[in-house]
Amino acid sequence: MTPLSTSTPEAATAGPRLVAGRGDLSGAVERALRTGRPPAYTEGSVRRADPWGEDLHLALYLLYELHYRGFEGVDDDREWDPDLLRLRRELEERFLHALRGALADAPRSVEEAFAPLLVEPVDPAESVSRHLETAGELWQLREYAALRSLYHLKEADPHAWAIPRLTGRAKAAMVAVEYDEFGAGHADRIHARLFADLMTDLGLDTSYGHYLDHADAPLLATVNLMSLFGLHRALRGALVGHFACVEVTSSPGSRRLAKAMRRCDAGPAAERFYTEHVEADAVHEQIVRREVIGGLLVDEPALEPDIAFGCAATVLLEDRLDAHILDAWTAGRSALRCPLPSLDPHLDPRG
């Protein structure tokens, strides 16, 4: 393949470091990226892969990151390597098939899909944000931030892929919301930057992708879902459904997390990230539902089931992640693959 990049070898060091594979598929991707060779895998390994498991999701995550910032030492041209794209497509089909199977009975109309999200439960007992608000400890806030950093340090980037695929009202409204997400012209107000400031308050490393090796499959799946929808024009309706679901559910959850940061004295930047989202996303919710979804349904009414699917898939994976985190914390153990170094061993029951 003839290289397209004109960058120097030094330019290939800007991205995060590769992590070790966790199985046949992610190992094949890791070795391919390290060596510059095609991935060595079998069709059987894809068929046998757990569509919810960490081997498949780490493999997908590594492949998707080539479309964001790439990896240290990996040539930028690997983004469009046909062998890597072929494997990515096979993994995506496995993941999508599992999602559609799990959501076979989910609503297919926008109204039915979003109606439950517009009424906040009186006591969302199975919510991580509720736990952190009422009983969370500082070490749990740090774990949650480390996990969420894999998205929040590129917040709104996957959704930006929807912009060239929309027209009229939907495009104008999508750009308006994304403009806010990207700081409304102010670099210090970009939401990814605000999250990095939150991480600093919590004593975490703010390097992009730093906590990838700490994240298990349930978290990787939530980030992969955005990339999957964003990179396929055929899934533009699902991407809009995902975006709308995030905006609709963000404000109540952010309010609880702001209280959690305040209660644990996490720091002003830690609290600010969530207070910023309480107000901003309450406004964004209205714009997305009325103008982005409303405009898209006027332009392409046949996409309504896809919008509903994007919303339902988001809820499904977020619920799986919440269950994973709360199961670990209830048992008194870390929700990460490997625990974070403690800021104060006397405050952290895991030592």
The model's pLDDT over 288-344, given as tens digits with 9 standing for 90+, comes to 999 999 999 999 999 999 999 999 999 999 999 999 999 999 999 999 999 998 775
pLDDT at 1 over 80: no
Dist. CA 262–CA 252, nearest whole Å: 16
Final residue before a domain boundary, out of 102, 136, 170: 102
Final residue before a domain boundary, out of 102, 136, 164: 102
Does residue 165 share a domain with residue 37? no
230 assigned to some structural domain: yes
The mean predicted confidence, pLDDT, of the chain is: 92
1 assigned to some structural domain: no
Final residue before a domain boundary, out of 63, 84, 102: 102
CA atoms within 13 A on the CB side of 282: 10
Does residue 125 share a domain with residue 65? no
Average pLDDT over residues 159-183: 96
Does residue 171 share a domain with residue 58? no
Dist. CA 319–CA 281, nearest whole Å: 20
> What's the pLDDT tens digit per position in 100-151?
999 999 999 999 999 998 876 544 557 999 999 999 999 999 999 999 999 9
Q: Is the pTM of this model over 0.85?
A: yes
Q: How far is CA 115 from CA 243, 244, 286, 289, in A?
A: 16, 12, 14, 11
Sequence-separated contacts (24+) of 67-71 with Cβ below 8 Å: 67/227, 67/231, 68/154, 68/157, 69/14, 69/15, 69/16, 69/154, 69/208, 69/209, 70/12, 70/14, 70/15, 71/15, 71/16, 71/17, 71/18, 71/33
pLDDT at 8 over 50: no
Name which of 49-58, 134-143, 275-284 the model is least confident about. 275-284
Average pLDDT over residues 65-80: 97
What pLDDT, on the 0 to 100 scale, is given for residue 5? 54
Q: What is the DSSP letter of 49?
A: S
**Centroid of chain to Cα 229:** 11
Does residue 261 share a domain with residue 244? yes
Q: What is the DSSP letter of 291?
A: I
Domain count, the chain: 2
Does residue 207 share a domain with residue 153? yes
What pLDDT, on the 0 to 100 scale, is given for residue 119? 76
Dist. CA 264–CA 260, nearest whole Å: 6
Does residue 115 share a domain with residue 60? no
> What's the pLDDT tens digit per position in 87-103?
999 999 999 999 999 99
pLDDT at 349 over 50: no
3 assigned to some structural domain: no
225 assigned to some structural domain: yes
Does residue 178 share a domain with residue 43? no
2 assigned to some structural domain: no
Domain coverage including residue 33: 9-102
Does residue 131 share a domain with residue 262? yes
pLDDT at 12 over 70: no
Tell me the CATH number at 189.
1.20.910.10
184 assigned to some structural domain: yes
pLDDT at 13 over 70: no
pLDDT at 186 over 50: yes
Tokens representing 338 are 């490997």
Dist. CA 344–CA 51, nearest whole Å: 38
pLDDT at 191 over 90: yes
292 assigned to some structural domain: yes
